[in-house]
Chains A and B, each alone.
Chain A
């Protein structure tokens, strides 16, 4: 089973929910946590896993053999990303623009282009107590977040409960992170920003056909517009976490809710029961693993 935690808006408490859910459930069943917020991965700060396995992620970029090249310009013509240019008798490669599709090397009539890996990030894995842990990290100055996310997702384990901590937003990295999920938990806060971004995230999740539910964090401050929205859209509110300076202070020290205030573990087990029932009602999804 795969449960992803997403939000639209950043900083609503995705990582806090993902890590506490994983910790609470890891007493009962095999759990794997995959942090797919590869631009700013934070789950390791709360779970403090051993990260003993390191795997570089690279994009294959073209390498031109100038002895074979006759400067015909076919490579530049087929490249959709303007990552290779031929000017007079010179071939210029812009590796940071290359998406690694392989068209130039395949289509070069002279067989002058080979590929070499350019590192854009790393996938690290290890254990945090009973939890198997994986995260990806995009290198500074790089843009290829979805590529790293796809590598992290190769470590999804159909035998385990997989919990995915997704990045904020609604664009390609979010889709890459949540697309294989059986269920998506959307964490929001009761403000106009929280609501606006929740609605955007719901549009994405519905487009992908994934059942979803909402966690309202910092409940008690703000207004009731998020509740009205959920009612109107028939999205269940599965958990409420109050605005509490004590919770904020725990988080600031890198302590999860499940560890810092242990009675919350019950609430997270209860949350999981609700999710399981909703997945059961939705009949599961193809390829999600049971």
Chain B
């Protein structure tokens, strides 16, 4: 079983539109949305028979007003500025380090596990989908990414599926790193803007850091061909192949409004490029 993860560095370059189209083209696969902050893939795949599960992770300190003597030691040692002068813990700032819990001389502090979000396992007309929703202003997105990936792998093993197609988060931090460990291939969807190029280089750096092979897909390649050439040149120096060049076309947005993967909406040059991308991906993985 092979896992391919779609990344971008910069947000909004077309990760999810490409992923949904790959989901439409691929057979024998499970889809997983690793953008647990703002999962969007399910909007195009229309899941049914959804199972909802709780994600509990991360502890927060709670101070008992009855037991607290107001000695101030907890406030003194807390490096996250999470304890107010009235000895109330701000759950958003609390990192769950337990330092205060470990040193409170009055035993006034307990650590309480919080409900950090939910994850969902569902069926779609393209196959099984696992996605999640992190709770409002919660941390531990990296752990939730690891959890949805593990669940997708479990489904793939159980049903004997060949591929895991993973829609990754934007950025280069905690959830991206969590979505990369042990994957067979990262497809980076970029755009020929200076920001797109800057962010592409950073996320390629992350993939290389974790020794994950990369191919690149340039979306809207014709809005700035000079920048597209720059991306091609850069990728060549890094030994990275350009798998597809998708032209700018408002039909991508029209397909999105109809909530249909773009390859199903129209078999024009956009669809053909994504088909080419999938051929390169399968060629690489087999």
Contact = CB atoms under 8 A, between A and B. Distances in A.
Contact of A102 (B79, B254, B259): B79
Nearest to A167: B171
A148 B239 CA distance: 32
A197 interface: yes
12 contacts: A10-B8, A10-B10, A39-B172, A101-B79, A106-B77, A141-B206, A143-B174, A168-B37, A169-B35, A192-B44, A196-B43, A221-B257
Given A169-B35, A248-B248, A252-B194, 18 more contacts: A8-B37, A10-B11, A11-B10, A11-B13, A39-B176, A100-B79, A143-B177, A171-B134, A172-B137, A174-B137, A192-B43, A193-B43, A245-B223, A245-B248, A248-B220, A252-B191, A252-B227, A253-B194
B154 interface: no
Contact of A45 (B191, B195, B205, B256): B195
Contacts of A172: 137-139, 141
Contacts of A251: 193, 195
A192 B170 CA distance: 18
A80 B172 CA distance: 24
B99 interface: yes
A194 B214 CA distance: 28
B142 interface: yes
Interface residues of A, number: 63
B205 A179 contact: no
Contacts of B97: 80-81, 99, 101, 103
Contacts of A179: 92
A106 B78 CA distance: 12
Interface centre among A38, A40, A42 (most CB of B within 10 A): A40
A10 B196 CA distance: 12
Contact of A197 (B40, B77, B79, B256): B40
A231 interface: no
B136 A249 contact: no
A282 interface: no
A102 B80 CA distance: 11
A9 B41 CA distance: 12
B38 A249 contact: no
Contact of B210 (A9, A45, A100, A141): A141
A137 B170 CA distance: 15
B12 A12 contact: yes
Interface stretch (A50-58, A199-207, A272-280): A199-207
Interface of B: 8-13, 16, 35-38, 40, 43-44, 59, 77, 79-80, 92, 95-99, 102-103, 133-134, 136-139, 141-142, 169-177, 191-196, 198-199, 202-203, 205-206, 209-210, 220, 223-224, 227, 248, 250, 253-254, 256-257, 259
Contacts of A193: 16, 40, 43, 256
B136 A170 contact: yes
B177 A192 contact: no
Contacts of B205: 140-141
B37 A170 contact: yes
Given A78-B102, A192-B256, A170 B137 contact: yes
B11 A168 contact: yes
Contacts of A81: 97
Contacts of B134: 170-171
B43 A175 contact: no
A8 B95 contact: no
B103 A106 contact: yes
A221 B254 contact: yes
Nearest to B139: A172
A173 B173 CA distance: 10
A200 B37 CA distance: 8
A96 B254 CA distance: 44
Contacts of B137: 170-172, 174-175, 204, 207-208
A191 interface: yes
